[in-house]
Copies of this chain bind each other. A is one copy, B any other.
Amino acid sequence: MLESVPITLDEARALARRVLLRHGLAEDHVASVIETIVAGERDGCTSHGLYRLIVCAHTLSTGAVAKAAKPEIIDLAPSIVHVDADGGFAPLAHSMGLPLLIAKARAQGVAAMVLTRCVHFAALWPDIEPLADEGLVALACTPSHAWVAPHGGTLPMFGTNPLAFAWPRQGRPSLVFDFATSAVARGEIELHRRQGRPLAKGWAIDSQGAPTTDPEAALAGAMLTFGGHKGSALALMIELIAGPLIGDLTSRESLIHDDGRKASPFGGVLILAMDPSAFLGDTAAFHLSRAEALFQSLVEQGARLPGDRRLAARRAHDTAPLSIDRALYDDLIALSGDP
């Protein structure tokens, strides 16, 4: 019996489509959720790839997401576009707001897009890669569920609160990365539990606030931020600017809102876009080439550019099919309702 199943990107799209339609997601949402999920799988982010269909299907079945949400675009200020996602998955609201965000960034120099009342199930990098592909510099952040204790505290308060950054490159794929401000991803803790492996030190504390390497104790306690008090300060910043600043839930409020359904986090996303042409005028090309010199010097000394493993996986899947874990594939076939 095969341990993994080769499928093409189009087959992956078709499978994702069947799963989502069978769980009642409206056609326009299906199209945008599929692209996000298949992009994750294509880029080797298996935790944010086809596996997320299981998470999406569960979220749909619990009623925690509006299946036919109608996002509304609100032109909030000269440099702010607000998309009220109407309780739906984030990707459709995101793609609907993107053209106005791009137009505002070009006209004003700097602009923000605020997504609110959305269910965010994906990695954060797909939210900003399209901006860099349009020649803009972009940042994004979002809270999640309260799983992470602040530095010096013992109770989960922050989400895994990722930060994403994107930088345009001439004639090359944009430089795009994201990272959780938790020491590791939530899924990593759950994976260790399933496999009965101890956690690394520094990942988590138990419910008494004591360091633990026991996954069960960690899940009952709290995860820790990366980088001690600095990572904790960054997590707090993200909690604030993608929570109260945009009028949406904190990670703690998202978890309360979830009410035990174990659905994906509910809340908002803040995206900032900056136009190098507005900052630099005619000298933009020159200064962007100085960034290339910086990248070159990093690579020459053996450092890896953030995001380059993803791009390598993407290139590999230009010709090779995706390789899906057999158990995951079988689960997805079952979720799709196929015999």
Contact check, B226 vs A230: say whether CB atoms are below 8 A apart. Answer: yes
Contact check, B79 vs A279: say whether CB atoms are below 8 A apart. Answer: no
CB-CB contacts below 8 Å: A139-191 with B: 139, 149-155, 157, 163, 165, 167, 177, 179, 181
Q: Say if the beta carbon of A90 comes within 8 Å of chain B.
A: no
Chain B contacts for A244, CB-based, 8 A: 287-288, 290-291, 294
Given contacts A236-B306, A244-B288, A247-B280, contact A112 B114 (CB under 8 A): no
Q: Say if the beta carbon of A80 comes within 8 Å of chain B.
A: yes
Contact check, A78 vs B230: say whether CB atoms are below 8 A apart. Answer: no
Chain B contacts for A154, CB-based, 8 A: 301-302
Q: Say if the beta carbon of A61 comes within 8 Å of chain B.
A: no
Q: Say if the beta carbon of A283 comes within 8 Å of chain B.
A: yes
Chain B contacts for A114, CB-based, 8 A: 279
Cα distance, A65 to B139, chains bound together (Å): 33
A298's partner among B110, B150, B231, B253 (CB-CB below 8 A) is B150
A312 to chain B, nearest CB (A): 15
Given contacts A109-B76, A227-B227, contact A152 B291 (CB under 8 A): no
CB-CB contacts below 8 Å: A201-227 with B: 226-227
Cα distance, A143 to B253, chains bound together (Å): 36
Q: How many copies does the complex hold?
A: 2
Given contacts A153-B301, A287-B245, A302-B153, contact A278 B77 (CB under 8 A): yes
Chain B contacts for A108, CB-based, 8 A: 77-80, 108, 110
Contact check, A283 vs B112: say whether CB atoms are below 8 A apart. Answer: no
Given contacts A78-B108, A247-B287, contact A306 B240 (CB under 8 A): no
Q: Say if the beta carbon of A7 comes within 8 Å of chain B.
A: no
Residue of B nearest to A287 (CB): B244
Q: Give a binary string over A236-250; 1 marks a CB under 8 Å from any B CB, 0 the rest.
A: 110111011111001
Residue of B nearest to A80 (CB): B109
Given contacts A79-B109, A227-B227, A246-B279, could you give 12 more A-B pairs where the C-beta distance is less than 8 Å? A77-B108, A77-B110, A108-B108, A114-B279, A137-B240, A152-B302, A157-B301, A165-B237, A177-B233, A244-B290, A245-B274, A247-B279
Pairs A-B, 10 closest by C-beta atoms = A227-B227, A77-B109, A153-B303, A80-B109, A79-B108, A150-B303, A153-B301, A244-B291, A152-B303, A233-B306
A residues with a Cβ closer than 8 A to B are 76-80, 82, 107-112, 114, 137, 139, 149-155, 157, 163, 165, 167, 177, 179, 181, 226-234, 236-237, 239-241, 243-247, 250, 252-253, 272, 274, 276, 278-280, 283, 287-288, 290-291, 294, 297-298, 301-304, 306
- Could you jot down 10 A-B contacts, CB within 8 Å? A78-B108, A80-B110, A155-B297, A167-B240, A226-B230, A229-B304, A244-B291, A246-B279, A250-B290, A253-B290
